[in-house]
Structure formats: structure tokens, C-alpha cells
Amino acid sequence: MEIVVNGKTEPINNEIILLTWLKGKNIDLNGLVIMINDEIIKKETWETVMIKANDAIEVLNFVSGG
């Protein structure tokens, strides 16, 4: 099975919970915005949303500054 993350194909073995997948990537969760198939996923639902084969995921990290 494969997913597309920020435009690049990535293999996954099984469906996986979004939060588990993010933690496995060692991604800093602060300031993160996740979109799956062009839909923004609310942070409160990251523990229940499943990543499935062929999902298109965008991981966006906003940084404040000037």
C-alpha cells in the first residue's frame, strides 16, 4: 500500500492512526496542520483519523516570526 506525503509516494504496511504515524516520523506536532485528501484534519481528531492506502497527505508546519 502507498500514500502520497507532500507530493512524494511513501509505502505503508497497513492502515494507521494519523497521530501514531506522525509520532513514528518524529515530527514536532506544535504548529502543525494536516490535510488528507484536501481536507483539513482537526488536531482533536488525530487520535481517531485513519490513514488509508492512496491517501494524499499534506504536512504543513507554520512558524511565527518577522
Please tell me the predicted confidence (pLDDT) of residue 66: 60
C-alpha cell at 27: 515530527
Write b or e for each residue in 32-48: b if 16 or more Cβ atoms lie within 10 A of its Cβ, otherwise e.
eebebeeeebeeeebee
Task: Give the residue extent of every domain in the chain.
Answer: 2-61
Please tell me the predicted confidence (pLDDT) of residue 27: 86
Give, as one character, the DSSP assignment of residue 37.
Answer: T
Task: Flag whether pLDDT at 4 surpasses 70.
Answer: yes
The dotted CATH code for 2-61 is 3.10.20.30
> Residue 66 contacts by C-beta under 8 Å, 6 or more apart in sequence?
none
Please tell me the predicted confidence (pLDDT) of residue 25: 92
Condensed to tens digits (0 to 9), the pLDDT of residues 5-54 reads 999 999 999 999 999 999 999 988 998 999 999 999 999 999 999 999 99
